[in-house]
Amino acid sequence: MKLSINHRPYDIEPVPGETLADLLRKRLNLTGTKIGCEEAECGSCTVLVDDEAVLSCVYPAERAAGKTVLTIEGLSSSEGLHPLQQAFIEHGAVQCGFCTPGLIMTAYALLRRNPDPSEDDIRHALKDTLCRCGGYPSIVRAIQSAAHHLRTGKPLQPPILVKSHGRSPLSFDPYFLEGERDKVGNCNVVGTLQPRPDATAKVTGAAQFTDDLTFDGMLFAAVRRASVPHAFLRQLDLEEARRIPGVVAVLNADDLPGAKNHGLMIPDWPVLVGVGERVRYVGDAVAIVAAETQESAQQAAKRIEMEFDLQPVVSDPVQARQPGAPQLHPDGNLLKHIKVRKGNVEQGFAEAEVILEHTFHTAFTDHMFLEPECSIAVPTSDGRMEIYVGSQIPYSDRAEVAAALGWSEDRVRVIGQLVGGGFGGKEDIAGQIHAALLANATGRAVKLSFDRRESLLVHPKRHATQIRVKIGAKRDGSLTAVETELYGDTGAYASLGEKVLTRATTHSAGPYEVAHVKADCYAMYTNNPPAGAFRGFGVTQSAFAIESMMDMLAEELCLDPLTLRRKNAMRVGSVTNTGQVLHESVGLVECIDRVEEEIRRLSPLIPPNAASLRPPFSPLKMGRKGVEKPEI
Amino acid sequence: MGFLWQQYIRPASLVEALQALCSASGPACPIAGGTDLILDLRQGRRLPVHTLVDVSGIPELIALEERGAEIFIGAAVPHNRIINSPLVYQYARALAEACDLIGGPQVRNVATLGGNVAHALPAADGAIALLALDAFAVVASLDSIQSTQALTTSQTRDVIMTRVPLLNLYLGPGKTALKTGQLLVGFYLPLAARGQGSAFTRVMRAQGVALPVLNLAVGLSREQTIITDLRIAIGPAGPIPLRAHAAEAVLRGRPLTSESMAESETALLAETHFRTSPQRATAGYRQHLAGKLLAEALYTAWERAV
């Protein structure tokens, strides 16, 4: 079939079942087009076909016959970057960079149709081109700036900068508090435009993420996962998988040369669950396959037969602590009981004029970084192993891979790749060890890339919690005591559960000065997916509970919620729940002031000292655009 | 796993397409936008196919034009073209509104109205709008496999074109009545006359590109302050898109007042069977929304019917 790609004619032999994304990425090595979901949801794979933005992951390659395809690699010319690319760099619209090619292509298609888009037009066009780093304001500004340049021929408008000296163009200067600027002196960097070093590569599609790499003779890996939450593996049959054409190696727990478990804090997570051993969550790996093609590897993994003795499931942390609950680890279900004590809560509640108590629940949350996990292990001729992976903790990866191989750490080199979003979700081992084991067994490079489903299934989440808060206060709003009891669901394995839930516990009375505090947290193992690091690191959950409680208390006391917070806010000189004296730069009262300023700017109708700032609930307006409830 | 498909054919005419569907050396399936089909194949929600017959290059299937007292919209016309068509905007506003909410912008550039109907989901936005707009579907097949000659309305070479009421294309959720060897060609909608208006409205999960929690479309005719005729379509309220006959009957011949609307809502709730779907909404929530959507769509269509 003949087609044009990036202004060049191609004559290509069609391959059955090939999508345009596969043609571009795998056959033509145009890896600027990314695969984030392969489900027509995320927009990372957006390219233009005959001038219209399409999702190349669900676009049959043969459908492009006779058509004109434009990818991110075709956007810049000999004269330099396209104004959109330049504007993305200058406006800081590039963060992890994984979504950037899709965003630029979507924006390019928009500007072809609409040279002068409003912010609404831009957001509408970008509805399904997701940036998980959350850089939309700068992305919108970059697109507007490029549009202006393309329309008028005038130079790209740079972003509005907060100058490090001289008057700030904004109403307040976010970088410096009153009087602190002088301490810093003249800044040469803060407040100036500093494009990130990798931005140009990320806007041209030249930036390579792990899945964009290939090595000579590289094999593809697939993992057979238990798919049951709690069981003993009774039997495993690998024979059929070994017979699939193209399969080079099939390994199970019997083939482990080194450590049987991995784990960031506690090695409680089996590299592979062996026959007779316990499966603790659906994502537990039972066997791994390396094959000449990804299709063969996946087909072989499916043919691995498993038999289980199913066990009763522990599905929440409260159940996990009850007597008689199935015990998931040798030391039971309690990972850690975390305690914080300050003053005497009995006395605090005795002093209170109002006492409220409520229990809050938060759910598991996924990081949903746009780049699914990928690891490539490459054995070197001098007997070492190189691991290519976009990881948040490469040194820990090295230690864990070395342990699993039974090697000293100096034989393993982790070559950190670009991280297409992490947010805490790329701290634990995903495919690093499995790729290394297969590379070691075959002597060849092995790539293990997760699709979105496997990514969601396997990697640790934000802890689901149950948080009971009991709060005591005087009528004037001053807090006298806070007692919290947290149950944190750390799932099947510890990961960073202890650290995360320690933060949740120490912060469970909020950023407020309270004389009497008692907090208890039970970090519990369950048969849910493991929970680990996630932005906020435990405080997200406890902040939700305590801040909800503060709103309830404000309502009970007929106080403005902001006044209540200001009254109890920690200041310089305050002592935290763990006894730390805050010597400088606490910032909370200033933060509350700014928030109030913004609330009043955005909602001028809210009367001062409103008892509640909650907007009226209107289900009709949820998730819909521009439709108002009719008044008849 | 194997390949998602073995053979990909791009016929230039209806006859070629129908012949390709009938003569393929394995299971064959038409593909228009493919944004649902490819995912269904990849995720194993559909039996594997051998041959995909791409209908997006067949002139009749990508026509969008006025034909006599009707609008014809080819089954392979992408949503994006429908949204931007002045003809659709003027005469079938509900359809433009519905298509503008399907998928995301990139999906709407390739996904088609025909696919929206052929996928046979009970709450497909395009189908709900078509139902309220009194649309007829046109189905093509080759001479030899068509038995009911009585339905034949026109004939070109060996291709038989049959005009069928929209709901005849539905067997159940996700099950189309279209048979192998039949091809959905397009839809005929009456041109809205003076005093006719339509509207589409829906509620969906925030940020979602998936199916709606509930959607509803109204097409109505009015003479001054009286509703002379109307059609209400709602989904998901049963195994296939639902025509709310009882809710319509209450309003026919009456003015649009809060009383008549309340009665219509009561009738609507009595004839719908909402279910709780774990991913989207409870039956109770849908019940709560139905009346609101009805009021909103009725009011908008009423305002437009001038």
Nearest CB to B106 within list A46, A619, A629? A46
Closest approach of B150 to chain A, Cα-based (Å): 37
A630–B295 C-beta distance less than 8 A = yes
A298–B299 C-beta distance less than 8 A = no
Closest approach of B287 to chain A, Cα-based (Å): 13
For residue B111, CA distances in Å to A20, A484, B119, B207 come to: 16, 52, 12, 19
CATH fold of B7-54: 3.30.43
Distance CA(A165)–CA(B104), nearest Å, equals 44
A284-298, A401-415, B201-215, B260-274 — which is least confidently predicted? Answer: B201-215
| Token couple for A518 | 């008692």
**Residue pairs spanning A and B at CB distance below 8 A:** 114
What number of other Cβ atoms are within 10 A of residue B170's Cβ?
A: 20
Q: How far is CA A578 from the centre of its chain?
A: 29
DSSP A216: T
Distance CA(B260)–CA(B264), nearest Å, equals 6
Closest approach of B293 to chain A, Cα-based (Å): 8
B144 class by beta-carbon count within 10 Å (0-12 exposed, 13-18 middle, 19+ buried): exposed
* The pLDDT of residue A618 is above 60: no
The 3-state DSSP class for residue B22 equals helix
**Minimal-distance CA residue of chain B relative to A293:** B2
Q: Are A577 and A509 in contact (CB under 8 A)?
A: yes
A46–B110 C-beta distance less than 8 A = no
Distance CA(A323)–CA(A325), nearest Å, equals 6
| Token couple for A550 | 């503060």
pLDDT digits (tens, 9 = 90+) for A343-379: 999 999 999 999 999 999 999 999 999 999 999 999 9
| Segments making up each domain of chain B, as ranges | 7-54, 59-190, 196-304
A65–B10 C-beta distance less than 8 A = yes
**Minimal-distance CA residue of chain A relative to B106:** A54
The 3-state DSSP class for residue A385 equals strand
Cα dihedral B267, B272, B277, B283 in deg (nearest 10)? 30
Distance CA(A303)–CA(A244), nearest Å, equals 9
The answer to whether the bond into B255 is cis (omega within 30° of 0) is: no
Q: Which domains does chain A have, with CATH numbers?
A: 1-160+199-206 (1.10.150.120), 219-310 (3.90.1170.50), 329-365+461-602 (3.30.365.10), 374-452 (3.30.365.10)
Q: Please indicate if any CB of chain A lies within 8 Å of the CB of B296.
A: yes
Q: How far is CA A426 from the centre of its chain?
A: 8
H-run or E-run covering A416 = strand A412-416
User: With bands split at pLDDT 50, 70 and 90, how would you rate the model's confidence at A87?
Assistant: very high
For residue B98, CA distances in Å to A55, A191, A336, B218, B223 come to: 21, 46, 53, 12, 26
- Interior angle at CA A178, CA A177 and CA A179, nearest 5: 110
Chosen from B106, B227, B259, B289 to mutate, greatest number of chain A CBs within 10 A: B106
Distance CA(A265)–CA(A344), nearest Å, equals 33
Distance CA(B92)–CA(B66), nearest Å, equals 12
Mutual orientation of helices A497-506 and A539-557 as an angle, nearest 10°?
20
Q: Read out DSSP for B173-187? A: TTEESPPTTEEEEEE
pLDDT digits (tens, 9 = 90+) for B141-182: 998 644 444 444 444 458 999 999 999 999 999 999 999 889
Residue A617 confidence (pLDDT): 35
Mean confidence (pLDDT) of chain B: 92
Average pLDDT over residues A71-82: 94
Yes or no: domain B59-190 corresponds to CATH 3.30.450.40: no
B207–A54 C-beta distance less than 8 A = no
C-alpha torsion sign, points A110, A115, A120, A123: positive
Distance CA(A2)–CA(A543), nearest Å, equals 58
Q: Are B221 and B228 in contact (CB under 8 A)?
A: yes
B67 class by beta-carbon count within 10 Å (0-12 exposed, 13-18 middle, 19+ buried): exposed
Which residues partner with A376 through β-bridges? Answer: A388, A447
What is the second-level CATH architecture of the domain B196-304? 2-Layer Sandwich (3.30)
pLDDT digits (tens, 9 = 90+) for A288-347: 999 999 999 999 999 999 999 999 999 999 999 999 999 999 999 999 999 999 999 999
A54–B109 C-beta distance less than 8 A = yes
**Minimal-distance CA residue of chain A relative to B257:** A632
The 3-state DSSP class for residue A545 equals helix
Mean confidence (pLDDT) of chain A: 92
pTM, 2 dp = 0.91
B7–A623 C-beta distance less than 8 A = no
The 3-state DSSP class for residue A484 equals strand
The residues of A whose Cβ lies within 8 A of any Cβ of B are 14, 16-17, 19, 38-41, 43, 46, 52-55, 58-60, 62-63, 65, 106, 124-125, 127-129, 295, 298-299, 302, 619-620, 622-624, 627, 629-630, 632
Which residues of A are less than 8 Å from B5 in CB distance? 16-17, 60
A630–B299 C-beta distance less than 8 A = yes
pLDDT digits (tens, 9 = 90+) for B176-232: 999 988 999 999 999 988 899 999 999 987 655 577 899 999 999 999 999 999 999
**Minimal-distance CA residue of chain B relative to A37:** B39
